[in-house]
């Protein structure tokens, strides 16, 4: 008899398994923040739940607590002032290891059922989580709801589905009977026990504290591991709400809640001690190259799944929908003020210009028209604020100002500060667009995180494609795009992406954008270039998080 | 229409897929060197084929050849004197990268079919390979045939089956249609291209030059990668025969033979340059800790699958089949003079002795009876030579002599030199058995590769189990065993192996031995303790050797 929560969620799991095998559209968690879906009172309840955390201690009932720590600064300028428990990493590790035993013993079906119950619980709290994500990251409301809620939950479930597929492939027992000619056969009974590798640490980022955390969190959990979530110092609340919900599901299921815990640390040394601990066997990280590389270099006891910096790029060769292309690019560059790991940074355009349905366009016209498209798109303040959100970090603001001042090249479109009437203290910036020559590699061939993009002048489209391949292979990219009416160009760009290993979007002119990826269908990152060594989600993301220990005896 | 070689081998592939899902007994390659199976002339043909290589240049037709190198010394003392092409690693890498393009383009079914044809070809050459393995490693004939031929081919096919399962799960295309309420849906066409990570290097060992090479070789090949085989300097011939056969299958299939090549290097620096090359993206290694750790530390550009040293161990608590237990252990310790990565090194016995069907046996009696069992088993010279083979390396001979001289503790059974009438120059050694106390950790808690085993006196069985767990967790083990008539002891040992992550054999008294693992059923290594970071074979062994590059466009 399998676990009751497995039975409860079995139909959804089956649909998820079908989705990862076809990678057609599917989503169990509704992305519309609608009362029809989430209930008439859900929006108000969620807002109140979020507000109830502010200015208070966030009780977690975790072991080894030594104090409280907070200090999150909202990009929208509201006062958060939440205090979180500070716990000894050793206590969290010890408790996690202990909790792994009963977690192992309930088997893959039990773990899968409990993980799906956790995701369902998170989904019910989507409004509360959305406010927490919005206020800690600076995302606009709709993005905070979708990416912070249902889309993040989708990515979590995607991990659970892959984990189930691999674990359910391991037989519990085998009857092994080897013929011995005329003699009696050799007969053995074998048992195959799935065991987690050990405690996992998931290190969140400041911009997508749930979307980039749930894949590793649920991949590690579903495969039998305890998980310690170490949130970004400025985006603790969404992680804390999530972890507390997961702990409550564990407790209700008669399991040890210390399987999942939150590690909030006032000092960087605490994190370093945590991630290099011998008991920590997996680390999921999203963030910059400096700490990411440190993790890869120093955490040799663990499997490190890292999403790092990259230089996302687009090759523009020609188009039969010039205005739609510009609209599509304007949205991509504006969304969340370019503070996405998937935002395009370098746009390669031939020096001789491009052919379009509106006739030939020179390089300078492409620059100017893209600038106009962005300005036009952001001309209505309500659209601008909804799309741009607010600046997540002062480092990004500083980069934008440097770009505005010409530090990276000729400014085609200056970034403006906007005043958000609803949040007067929010720092809102529109994109800055730079034009430069392909030879000015030091300007564009390094991640300039935020709303800073480059239109890069190349000799011709063949040079653009070669440059895209080189940038991606050497500096990494999560996304690439191409615009062309010429099948040969698309084929050449496709072949380049097979070598540089980056997902390619071709001629996007409608309601799909290069910087967006859909769970169960789009692989986020290939894991094959410097921007990430793993993908959301594929088999490799889950298969090495557990091991199989067999035993055998004469039957 | 799928690839003709895929169609040819499809039934065997389906059977392999069924086998890895049940892990029941299955083998497509017959382990009996019988004329009924392999043909009336196979034995003679194989022997002649082997002999035809001796004293000659082994032509490979590889790119970038700069010279010839040989120098293998046969443990049986016969003259080998084969010269192999020395090729520039850069030339082999360049040619491998080029060959990967058409290899990618024939798709997973084409690669799977060609790999299975390669394994079939290897199987047809099992006698030739067996002689090459025997004469380069010192294995006895039957082991050389079985482990060097069909069992190695089984392990290769096991990798291919896992690789096919994962690759065939990736859809080639998807139709993605996302509803937009009352508006028309968003519709995208997506393509998912499987690409290999890059050139793989497989580093062979001196004792099992095919068995430990084929899993990584075929895992890397089947998932779209070129492979450069770097054999052990004293076991080149089995690898060279294998690689040349694979190259001929590629050529016959209209593919670029440089997909697989042999790297023979006169200098160690050549190997180091090869494995740290940026284009090398996976390394499979079997061997000692020194070079293994060097690879893990320095080849950061590559995935490293490493099988290293370990301290395999057995806990003896009690038995209802004392004589059969002793016979079983005597065979395990004698087989190939203990020169297996799976041979038991430490046998934990309580100071107070054990309960048996022949009454209680003191610690000293257990030592003496094990010594007698080994002596008895090896008393007939024809059995002794068939089982022991010859000493593969002078380092191992030196260790045996040190053990004989008491360097590691009290000698219970001295190793003898035997004279092999068929091979007068062969260096043949029987096992040496040492008795020591659990506190003498420096003696037994380090791999003493070869026919050197320790009976270790512990306080009691609980202490034995705790010691087994600690030895395995800290020094690694590929195999563990337990003998007990008490279900509680077996349960405690089982739980210990779940924590230390080692395969457990329970009460082996018949024709199955702790040091033997059967492809398609036994996982060789768990990948979860220091003896190996990967397992033959599981999904994790193949899933991260390829990446998926998607492209999408409006449909």
* Among B513, B512, B511, B494, CA closest to B503: B494
Cα separation, A383 vs A332, whole angstroms: 14
Q: Which fold has domain B313-506?
A: Aldehyde Dehydrogenase; Chain A, domain 2 (3.40.309)
Half-sphere exposure (Cβ direction) of A393: Cα atoms closer than 13 Å: 15
Looking at residue B311, what is its pLDDT?
97
- pLDDT of residue B1 exceeding 70, the answer is no
Q: Which residues of A touch B535 (CB under 8 A)?
A: 547-548
In B25-140, the DSSP E strands lie at 65-69, 84-87
The model's pLDDT over A405-425, given as tens digits with 9 standing for 90+, comes to 999 999 999 999 999 999 999
Q: Which residues of A touch B511 (CB under 8 A)?
A: 180, 186
For β-strands B432-437 and B503-506, DSSP reports them as unpaired
State whether residue A451 is helix, strand or coil.
coil
Across the interface, do A508 and B553 touch by the CB < 8 Å criterion? yes
Whether the CB-CB separation of A195 and A546 falls below 8 Å is answered with yes
State whether residue A553 is helix, strand or coil.
strand
Q: How confident is the model at residue A215 (pLDDT cuts 50, 70, 90)?
A: very high
The whole-angstrom distance between A293's CA and the closest CA on chain B is 11
Mutation site, A319, A543, A546, interface B, largest B CB count within 10 A = A543
Cα separation, A95 vs A258, whole angstroms: 6
Which secondary structure element, helix H or strand E, spans residue A441, and what is its range?
A: helix A441-444
Q: Mean pLDDT, chain A, as a whole number?
A: 97
Q: Which residues of B touch A530 (CB under 8 A)?
A: none
* Among A550, A542, A459, A501, CA closest to A223: A542
The model's pLDDT over B438-447, given as tens digits with 9 standing for 90+, comes to 999 999 999 9
Cα separation, B434 vs B549, whole angstroms: 56
The model's pLDDT over A428-439, given as tens digits with 9 standing for 90+, comes to 999 999 999 999
Cα separation, A415 vs A339, whole angstroms: 14
The model's pLDDT over A515-554, given as tens digits with 9 standing for 90+, comes to 999 999 999 999 999 999 999 999 999 999 999 999 999 9
For β-strands B452-458 and B479-483, DSSP reports them as unpaired
Interface predicted TM-score (ipTM): 0.97
The whole-angstrom distance between A21's CA and the closest CA on chain B is 6
Q: Name the least confident of A62-76, A260-274, B383-397.
A: A260-274
Cα separation, A353 vs A363, whole angstroms: 5
Sorted by sequence, the CB contacts under 8 Å of residue A330 that are 6+ apart come out as: A370, A373, A374, A376, A377, A378
The model's pLDDT over A42-59, given as tens digits with 9 standing for 90+, comes to 999 999 999 999 999 999
Looking at residue A448, what is its pLDDT?
96
State whether residue A291 is helix, strand or coil.
helix
Cα separation, A517 vs A505, whole angstroms: 10
Question: Which alpha helices (H) appear in B138-235, and where do they start and end?
Answer: 141-148, 150-168, 214-222
Cα separation, A111 vs A107, whole angstroms: 6
Q: If you average pLDDT over residues A64-91, what whole number do you get? A: 97
Q: Which fold has domain B4-8+60-308+535-554?
A: Aldehyde Dehydrogenase; Chain A, domain 1 (3.40.605)
In terms of Cβ atoms closer than 10 Å to its own Cβ (0-12, 13-18, 19+), residue A325 is buried
Q: Which residues of A touch B502 (CB under 8 A)?
A: 549
Mutation site, B105, B183, B282, B549, interface A, largest A CB count within 10 A = B549
The whole-angstrom distance between B267's CA and the closest CA on chain A is 29
Sorted by sequence, the CB contacts under 8 Å of residue A422 that are 6+ apart come out as: A385
The whole-angstrom distance between B504's CA and the closest CA on chain A is 4
Looking at residue A268, what is its pLDDT?
84
Whether the CB-CB separation of A230 and A271 falls below 8 Å is answered with yes
Q: If you average pLDDT over residues A148-173, what whole number do you get? A: 98
Q: How confident is the model at residue A240 (pLDDT cuts 50, 70, 90)?
A: very high
Across the interface, do A523 and B188 touch by the CB < 8 Å criterion? no
Q: How confident is the model at residue A346 (pLDDT cuts 50, 70, 90)?
A: very high
Cα separation, B111 vs B160, whole angstroms: 9
Q: Give the tokens for residue B503.
A: 């395969």
Nearest to B501 among A540, A549, A551 (CB): A549
Q: Which fold has domain A9-309+542-550?
A: Aldehyde Dehydrogenase; Chain A, domain 1 (3.40.605)
The model's pLDDT over B265-297, given as tens digits with 9 standing for 90+, comes to 888 889 999 999 999 999 999 999 999 999 999
Q: What percent of chain B has pLDDT over 70?
A: 100
Tell me, yes or no, if the two domains A9-309+542-550 and A313-506 fold the same way.
Answer: no
Cα separation, A92 vs A94, whole angstroms: 6
Looking at residue B268, what is its pLDDT?
84
Q: If you average pLDDT over residues B243-255, what whole number do you get? A: 98
Sorted by sequence, the CB contacts under 8 Å of residue A442 that are 6+ apart come out as: none
Q: If you average pLDDT over residues A222-248, what whole number do you get? A: 98
Across the interface, do B550 and A512 touch by the CB < 8 Å criterion? no
The whole-angstrom distance between B134's CA and the closest CA on chain A is 24
The owner of tokens 């491998």 is B96
Return the number of CB contacts < 8 Å for A and B: 178
Q: If you average pLDDT over residues B8-27, what whole number do you get? A: 98
Q: What percent of chain B has pLDDT over 90?
A: 99
Chain A residue with minimal CA distance to B501?
A549
Kindly report the number of other CB atoms within 10 A of residue B142's CB atom.
Answer: 16
Across the interface, do A552 and B512 touch by the CB < 8 Å criterion? yes
Half-sphere exposure (Cβ direction) of A73: Cα atoms closer than 13 Å: 9
Sorted by sequence, the CB contacts under 8 Å of residue B370 that are 6+ apart come out as: B326, B329, B330, B347, B412, B413, B433, B455
Whether the CB-CB separation of A8 and A117 falls below 8 Å is answered with yes
Domain extent listing, chain A: 9-309+542-550, 313-506
Write out the DSSP string of A218-280.
HHHHHTT--EEEE--TT-HHHHHHHHHHHHHHHHHTTS-GGGEEE---SSHHHHHHHHT-TTE
Looking at residue A1, what is its pLDDT?
67
State whether residue A8 is helix, strand or coil.
helix
Whether the CB-CB separation of A104 and A455 falls below 8 Å is answered with no
Nearest to B24 among A175, A540, A543 (CB): A175
Chain B residue with minimal CA distance to A523?
B550
Distance of alpha carbon B70 from the chain centroid: 24
The whole-angstrom distance between B53's CA and the closest CA on chain A is 35
Q: If you average pLDDT over residues A386-405, what whole number do you get? A: 97
Q: What percent of chain A has pLDDT over 70?
A: 100
Rounded to the nearest 10 degrees, what angle do helices B461-475 and B487-500 cross at?
20
Nearest to A25 among B176, B503, B554 (CB): B176
Cα separation, B281 vs B547, whole angstroms: 12
Q: Please tell me whether the overall predicted TM-score, pTM, comes out greater than 0.95 for this model.
A: yes
Looking at residue B266, what is its pLDDT?
81
Across the interface, do A174 and B24 touch by the CB < 8 Å criterion? yes
State whether residue A339 is helix, strand or coil.
coil
């Amino acid at each position: 008899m399998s676990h009751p929560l497995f039975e409860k969620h079995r139909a959804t799991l089956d649909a998820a398994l079908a989705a990862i095998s076809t990678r057609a559209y599917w989503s169990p968690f509704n992305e519309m923040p609608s009362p029809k879906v989430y209930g008439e009172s859900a929006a108000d309840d969620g807002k109140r739940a979020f507000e109830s955390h502010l200015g208070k201690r966030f009780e977690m009932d975790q072991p080894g607590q030594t104090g409280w720590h907070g200090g999150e600064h909202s990009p929208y300028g509201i006062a958060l002032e939440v205090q979180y428990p500070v716990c000894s990493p050793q206590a969290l590790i010890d408790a996690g290891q202990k909790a792994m035993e009963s977690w192992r013993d309930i088997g893959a079906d039990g773990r899968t059922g409990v993980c799906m119950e956790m995701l369902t619980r998170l989904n019910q709290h989507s409004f509360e989580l959305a406010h927490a994500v919005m206020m800690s990251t600076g995302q606009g409301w709709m993005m905070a709801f979708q990416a912070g809620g249902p889309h993040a939950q989708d990515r979590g479930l995607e991990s659970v589905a892959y984990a189930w597929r691999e674990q359910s492939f391991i037989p519990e027992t085998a009857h092994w009977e080897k013929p011995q000619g005329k003699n009696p056969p050799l007969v053995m009974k074998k048992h195959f026990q799935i065991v987690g590798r050990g405690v996992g640490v998931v290190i969140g980022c400041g911009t997508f504290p749930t979307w980039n955390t749930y894949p590793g969190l649920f991949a590690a959990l579903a495969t039998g591991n305890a998980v310690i979530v170490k949130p970004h110092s400025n985006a603790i609340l969404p992680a804390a709400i999530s972890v507390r919900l997961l702990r409550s599901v564990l407790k209700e299921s008669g399991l040890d809640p210390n399987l999942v815990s939150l590690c909030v640390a006032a000092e960087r040394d605490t994190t370093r001690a945590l991630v290099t601990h011998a008991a920590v066997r997996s680390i999921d990280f999203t963030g910059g190259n400096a700490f990411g590389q440190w993790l890869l270099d120093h955490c040799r006891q663990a499997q490190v799944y890292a999403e790092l910096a990259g230089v996302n790029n687009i090759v523009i060769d020609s188009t039969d929908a010039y205005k739609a292309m510009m609209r599509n690019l304007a949205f991509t560059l504006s969304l969340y003020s370019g503070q996405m790991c998937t935002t395009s940074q370098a746009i390669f355009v031939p020096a001789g210009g491009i052919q379009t349905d509106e006739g030939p366009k020179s390089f300078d016209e492409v620059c100017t028209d893209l600038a106009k498209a962005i300005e036009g798109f952001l001309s209505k303040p309500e659209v601008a604020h909804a799309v741009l959100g607010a600046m997540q970090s002062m480092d990004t603001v500083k980069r934008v100002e440097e770009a505005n001042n010409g530090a990276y090249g000729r400014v085609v479109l200056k970034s403006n500060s906007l005043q958000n009437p609803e949040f007067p203290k929010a720092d809102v910036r529109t994109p800055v667009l730079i034009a430069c020559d392909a030879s000015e590699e030091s300007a564009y061939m390094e991640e300039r995180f935020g709303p800073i993009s480059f239109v890069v002048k190349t000799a011709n489209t063949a040079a653009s494609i070669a440059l895209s391949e080189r940038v991606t292979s050497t500096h990494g990219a999560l996304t690439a795009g191409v615009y062309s009416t010429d099948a040969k160009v698309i084929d050449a760009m496709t072949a380049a992406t097979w070598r540089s290993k980056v997902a390619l979007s071709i001629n996007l002119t409608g309601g799909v954008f290069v910087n967006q990826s859909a769970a169960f269908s789009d692989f986020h990152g290939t894991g094959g270039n410097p921007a990430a060594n793993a993908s959301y989600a594929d088999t490799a993301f889950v298969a090495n998080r557990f091991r199989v220990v067999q035993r055998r005896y004469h039957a």
